[in-house]
């Protein structure tokens, strides 16, 4: 039986696919796609789009510059993921920017997935800082702020006529969020109560604003089935319930596609929930020199590099195989994938002000902003 908030209803998926398929496909050379079953979710995180456009970095198709979400939708994408920090540095991803991109995503016919970081800047397994405005709040007061912040963000998308299809409570929360209150590991012991309370508050806020909104918890243990199982066993054992399990999968950090397959199958079978690869990327080339600010500088960084070399065709072949891996998840629980910042190809916008872009060679567009063959992976 389908969960009533299962990622998207069959009708909603069909509507999104129809809307996104409306524009004429952008002609690009692509490898012959394999006969893989349909993936319900095929999307991208485009949170840097406004900054990239302001810096003069654009993408092109059909002989002219086009919005990135339109190019992705023309290739079959039906989901846009947007992050929102609480009070970030000027020009970085705040709620107002997410709302603006949400309007564009909806106009392109794509569903909207909101990634709330509950931090003023990057939140991941290395850093989950409490926003400056929330500093000094105890556990109960902080949970109330999380609930209200989540509720108001969800309501804001609905108020502008672009309701969310899915929300994740925190970003890569393997070790908790809003440290130290929600930090799981502090000293020799683990502490789950604070994290579980904050997560429960965020879920309550989301459902207060939109009772049928699909919810997600997102970790980065995609190559570690044992660690993923331990995390979700502990979390679900505390009464937390979400509709979707989200995983980051960057092969140069998380292992081979075989490693990913083991984790996807275990999670889908053990918990009976949809699993979405909510962040992923693969290189289309290597930097000319061994620059320290690139994450992938050598083919040896890639565990499946012999099968999928860091070339445009190798990148396309990797995404074809990722589609096949997801389609093979038991129970049709491999919901799909979301490519992280596929248009972030240059150094006009950095990870932080004054810094470079270590993901530059992971983009799905070439140096001139033209689509690469890997965009075929978004097809229905």
What pLDDT, on a 0 to 100 scale, did the predictor assign at position 16?
Answer: 40
| Among the listed residues 174, 85, 186, 189, the one whose alpha carbon sits nearest the alpha carbon of residue 126 | 174
Residues 6 or more apart whose CB falls under 8 angstroms from that of 46 comprise 68, 69, 72, 80, 81, 82, 101, 105, 341, 342, 343
| Among the listed residues 239, 216, 209, 240, the one whose alpha carbon sits nearest the alpha carbon of residue 147 | 209
Residues designated as active site: 172, 279
pTM of the model: 0.90
Phi, psi of 202 (to 5 degrees): -65, -40
Distance, in Å, from the CA atom of 368 to the CA atom of 65, rounded to the nearest integer, reads 11
Which residues form the domain of 107?
Answer: 38-378
Tokens at residue 347, please?
A: 């150094």
What pLDDT, on a 0 to 100 scale, did the predictor assign at position 36?
Answer: 53
Residues of the chain with pLDDT under 70: 1-37, 290-292
User: Looking at the domain assignment, is residue 346 inside a domain?
Assistant: yes
Residues 126-170 have pLDDT tens digits of 999 999 999 999 889 999 999 999 999 999 999 999 999 999 999
User: Looking at the domain assignment, is residue 187 inside a domain?
Assistant: yes
Residues 284-307 have pLDDT tens digits of 999 887 656 899 999 999 999 999
Lookup result for tokens 């289309």? 284
Q: Are strands 111-116 and 79-84 parallel, antiparallel or unpaired?
A: parallel
User: Looking at the domain assignment, is residue 183 inside a domain?
Assistant: yes
Q: What's the sign of the alpha-carbon dihedral 129, 124, 164, 365? A: positive
For residue 259, the domain's CATH number is 3.20.20.80
User: Looking at the domain assignment, is residue 320 inside a domain?
Assistant: yes
User: Looking at the domain assignment, is residue 18 inside a domain?
Assistant: no
User: Looking at the domain assignment, is residue 282 inside a domain?
Assistant: yes
> How many domains would you assign to the chain?
1
- Reported residue count of the chain is 380
């Amino acid at each position: 039986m389908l969960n009533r908030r299962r990622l998207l209803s069959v009708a909603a998926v069909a509507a999104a696919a129809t809307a996104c398929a409306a524009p004429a496909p952008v002609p690009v050379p692509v490898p012959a796609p394999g006969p893989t079953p349909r993936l319900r979710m095929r999307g991208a995180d485009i949170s840097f789009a406004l900054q990239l456009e302001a810096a003069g970095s654009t993408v092109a198709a059909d002989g002219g510059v086009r919005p990135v979400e339109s190019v992705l939708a023309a290739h079959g994408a039906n989901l846009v993921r947007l992050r929102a920090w609480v009070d970030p540095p000027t020009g970085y991803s705040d709620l107002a920017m997410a709302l603006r991109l949400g309007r564009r995503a909806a106009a392109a016919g794509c569903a909207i997935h909101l990634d709330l970081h509950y931090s003023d800047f990057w939140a991941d397994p290395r850093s989950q800082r409490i926003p400056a405005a929330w500093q000094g709040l105890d556990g109960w007061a902080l949970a109330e702020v999380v609930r209200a912040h989540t509720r108001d963000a969800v309501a804001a998308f609905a108020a502008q006529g672009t309701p969310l299809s899915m929300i994740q409570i925190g970003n890569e929360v393997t070790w908790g969020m809003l440290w130290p209150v929600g930090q799981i590991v502090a000293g020799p012991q683990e502490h789950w109560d604070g994290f579980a309370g904050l997560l429960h508050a965020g879920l309550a806020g989301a459902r207060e604003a939109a009772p049928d909104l699909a919810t997600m918890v997102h970790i980065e243990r995609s190559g570690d089935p044992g660690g993923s199982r331990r995390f979700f066993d502990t979390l679900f054992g505390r009464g937390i319930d979400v509709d979707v399990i989200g995983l980051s999968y960057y092969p140069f950090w998380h292992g081979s596609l075989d490693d990913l397959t083991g984790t996807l199958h275990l999670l889908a079978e053990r918990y009976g929930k949809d699993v979405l690869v909510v962040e992923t990327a693969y290189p289309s080339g290597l930097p000319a020199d061994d620059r320290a600010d690139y994450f992938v500088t050598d083919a040896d960084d890639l565990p499946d590099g012999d099968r999928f070399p860091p070339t445009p065709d190798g990148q396309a072949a990797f995404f074809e195989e990722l589609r096949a891996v997801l389609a093979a998840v038991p129970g049709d629980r491999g919901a799909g994938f979301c490519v992280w910042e596929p248009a972030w190809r240059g150094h006009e916008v950095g990870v932080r002000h004054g810094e470079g872009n270590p993901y530059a060679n992971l983009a799905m567009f070439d140096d001139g902003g033209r689509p690469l063959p890997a965009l075929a992976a978004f097809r229905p």
